[in-house]
Amino acid sequence: MENALAEFANFISGAPQTIIAIILGVILLFFGYKAKRIAIAIIGFVVGWSIAAHFAPSLVADPFWQFVLKLAAGAILGVSAISLERLAVFVIVGFAFWSAAYDALAIADPMAHLGISVAIGVVAGVISVWLLKPMFIFASSIKGAQMISTMALTAFNIPTQPWALILLVALAAVGIIFQWKDCKHVE
């Protein structure tokens, strides 16, 4: 029984996870603002999953239970994010900008790398509270572009620098332009 569960966990953490991440990335990239509540839930889920993915290996050794822990953390944060929309937008936009900056920037000093990325995220989060629509469009496009570019570069074993930044900026620009034109009359 445990062998079957381990095989299932390995299957889930392989190609289907990449495909799901790319699909969610496309939704965020092109329809993030139009589907704001869904986008908030998706990004909340991704944030919860990411946080749990960082801590799960130190909490649980079995890959199946690591998957369950990541899934539960994602679901809890996704549902919570919908209930607290303004706070969620601050956190989501801040996280989207922070994680994209962290992945895209290549700064040799780890503390400077982290500090600059966090500063970018906090500034973007604060601005998002006042300029909800444009910042949400930017953040959902950037997060969608980051998910797609990360999965694509990983799937094809392409070195991340400088391609991560180039692909991220190109995809984000396309998503921002598309969403801005598509959501012109949506409030």
Q: By residue range, what is the domain housing residue 126? A: 2-182
> What is the distance between the alpha carbons of residues 33 and 135, in angstroms, rounded to a whole number?
10
> What is the distance between the alpha carbons of residues 177 and 169, in angstroms, rounded to a whole number?
12
Asked whether residue 26 is domain-assigned, the answer is: yes
- pLDDT of 72: 92
Burial of 180 (0-12, 13-18, 19+ CB in 10 A): middle
Are the CB atoms for 143 and 96 separated by under 8 Å? yes
Asked whether residue 145 is domain-assigned, the answer is: yes
Residue 1 binned pLDDT confidence (cut-offs 50, 70, 90): very low
> What is the distance between the alpha carbons of residues 28 and 141, in angstroms, rounded to a whole number?
6
The total domain count for the chain is: 1
**pLDDT tens, 40-88?**
787 788 878 888 888 888 888 888 888 889 899 989 988 888 888 788 7
- Give me 186's structure tokens: 């949506």
- Give me 70's structure tokens: 């990541």
Are the CB atoms for 40 and 88 separated by under 8 Å? yes
Closest to 145 measured CA to CA, from 115, 127, 169, 162: 169
Asked whether residue 169 is domain-assigned, the answer is: yes
Asked whether residue 65 is domain-assigned, the answer is: yes
Asked whether residue 187 is domain-assigned, the answer is: no
CA distance to 22, 73, 76, 111, per residue, from 16 (Å): 10, 19, 22, 34
Asked whether residue 20 is domain-assigned, the answer is: yes
**pLDDT tens, 143-158?**
889 888 888 888 777 7
- pLDDT of residue 91 exceeding 60: yes
Asked whether residue 78 is domain-assigned, the answer is: yes
Asked whether residue 89 is domain-assigned, the answer is: yes
Q: What is the mean pLDDT of residues 103-129?
A: 85
